[in-house]
Amino acid sequence: MRRIYLDNNATTPVLPEVLEAMRPYFGEHFGNASSIHHHGQEARAAVERARDRVALLLGCRAAEIVCTSGGTEGDNLALAGVTTPGDHIITSCIEHDAVLHACQHLEKMGCEVTYIPVDGRGLVDPEDVRRALRANTKLISIMMANNETGVLQPAEEIGNFAEEADVYFHIDAVQAAAKVPIDVNRIACDLLSISGHKIHAPQGVGALYVRKGTHLQPLFYGGRHERSRRAGTENVPGIVALGKAAELAMQAFERGDDRKMSGLRDRLQQGILIQAESAGVNGEGAPRVPNTTNIYFDHIDGEAMAISLDLKGLAVSTGAACSSGAIEPSHVLTAMGLAATRARSSIRFSLGKQNTAEDVDFALALVPEVVSRLRELSPTSGKRAMF
C-alpha cells in the first residue's frame, strides 16, 4: 500500500545524506570526544565541525551552541537555567508543553509566570508582552513558530522589548528552524532551542543557542562537557547528523526550496478548501512557516478523520503528537478562540523535504472523499440531520 507522510511537524525522516554523515561515528569513528587519543580527537573534530554548521544556521558563534538531547531539554535548560525563585517569566498560552510544563514546575518552585493570550489568528501581540513586564521579570519565552498551526510570532518586536527592558529572551524555534531563516542577532534573543528530528536529523539530539555572557545554570551535573553548560558524553553521531542537517538546510534556503515548499502547501490547502465545504484554515491571515496548514472540517471528528486517512495510507495529525489520544481539545486552537467542537474537527498537514507534488495529489484525491464519507455518518452534519 502506498503510504504518504504529511506529519513532519511530529518528526521528519532522516535524510540519506544525514544518515551517511553520521554512520561512521557508530563504527570506525567511535571515539569519546573528550579522549585525548586519536579516536577521541577524531570525534571532537566532528563535533566541532557540526557545531560550526549549527552556528551558521542560527547566525551565531560556535561557542554559543550547546548540544542537547532535543527541543524539550533545550527549552528546560533555557527556562530553568536563567531563573531563580522570585523571578517573573512571561510566556504565551500556545507554547509547546516543553515550555508550558517547565513554567508550571518553575511556578511551584517560587517563580511567577504570566501567560500571554493570542488573537484569532494565533498571534501574540508584542504590546501585551511589553505591558506584562515587571520589575522582577527575568525572562520572556515565546515560540517562533507554533507546532500546530505553523503561525510565526513577531519575534523581532518582542526581542526589542526584551532588550530595552534588559530581560532574557528565549525562543523555542523547534518548528521554525530550517523552515525560515533565523538570525539570533537580528531577533536579539539570548537563548534559542532547536531539535534535530524536526529538521531531518534523528530523534534525541538538538541544540540550544546561549548568547555569550548569559549566566546559565546547568540542568545536569557531571563532567565539563559543552563548556560546563551540559554535562554528559556527547552524542557524537547525533551531533554530526544535526550539523549535516543544518548544512543541508542552509543549501536549501539558497536554492529557494522554502518557496517551493510553501507552493506545495498552498496547493494542498487550496485544493482541500475548494473540494470540502465548511472547512477553513486555523491561523488564516497570519504569517506561517511554509510547510504547515491546519484545517478544520466542521461536523467531523479529527481523530476519526486521522484514523480514516491513515487506513488509506495518509499520515496526518490532529494536533501536537504528544497529545494524541487525549480527549482535551488542543490548547492552541482553543486559545485562538475556536469552540471545542471546531478544535476537535481540525487536522494538521505538515510537509517535509521528502514530499513531492505527487504526495499532494494523493492527499487531494483522498481528503475530500474521507470528509464526505465521515459527514454522511455525522449526527451533527446537515445531510444526516434531514433524516
| Marked catalytic residue, from 60, 67, 111, 322 | 322
CB of 370 to ligand PLP, least distance (A): 25
Nearest to residue 181, comparing CAs of 158, 164, 156? 156
- Sheet arrangement for strand 137-141: 65-68, 206-210, 191-195, 168-172, 137-141, 88-92, 112-116
- Output the smallest distance, CB 355 to ligand PLP, in A: 18
Closest CA to 112 of 79, 88, 84: 88
Nearer Cβ to ligand PLP (242/276): 242
Is residue 322 flagged as an active site residue? Answer: yes
Q: Of 83 and 175, which CB lies nearer to ligand PLP in the complex structure?
A: 175
7 binds ligand PLP (CB under 6 A): no
Distance CA 365, CA 169 (A): 44
Nearest residue by C-beta to ligand PLP?
A: 71
* Site for ligand PLP contains 143 (CB under 6 A): yes
Q: Which residues make Cβ contacts (< 8 Å) with residue 263, sequence separation at least 6?
A: none
Give the whole-angstrom CA distance, residue 94 versus residue 192.
17
| Minimum gap (Å) between residue 221 Cβ and ligand PLP | 21
DSSP annotation of 151: B
Q: Describe the crossing of helices 236-255 and 257-275 by its angle, rounded to 10 degrees.
A: 80
User: ∠72-315-305 over CA atoms, to 5°?
Assistant: 110
Q: How would DSSP label each residue in 183-202?
A: -HHHHT-SEEEEEGGGTTS-
Residue 218's closest CA among 205, 228, 207, 232? 228
Stretch that binds ligand PLP, among 43-51, 172-180, 239-247, 361-369 (CB under 6 A): 172-180
Among 18, 98, 129, 295, binds ligand PLP (CB under 6 A): 98
Residue from 122, 126, 206, 243 in contact with ligand PLP (CB under 6 A): 206
Q: Which of 8, 114, 137, 147 binds ligand PLP (CB under 6 A)?
A: 147
Site residues for ligand PLP, window 174-193 (CB under 6 A)? 174-175
Give least dist CB 302 to ligand PLP, A.
Answer: 18
Cell 547566525 appears where?
59
Residue 190's nearest CA partner among 217, 208, 165 is 208
From the CB of 147, what's the least distance to ligand PLP, in Å? 3
Residue 21 or 174 having the CB closest to ligand PLP: 174
Q: Considering the rule CB under 6 A, would residue 123 count as an interface residue with ligand PLP?
A: no
Is 149 a binder of ligand PLP (CB under 6 A)?
no
Q: Is 83 in the site for ligand PLP (CB under 6 A)?
A: no
* Footprint of ligand PLP on 40-79 (CB under 6 A): 70-72, 75
Among positions 325-344, residues that touch ligand PLP (CB under 6 A) are none
Distances, alpha carbon 6 to alpha carbons 195, 285, 333, 347, in Å: 18, 22, 20, 11
From 170-178, 244-252, 285-293, 333-341, give the range in contact with ligand PLP by CB under 6 A: 170-178
Instruction: Tell me the C-alpha distance between 350 and 317, whole Å.
Output: 9
Binding-site ranges for ligand PLP (CB under 6 A): 70-72, 75, 96, 98, 143, 147, 172, 174-175, 195, 197, 206
Please give the positions annotated as active site.
322
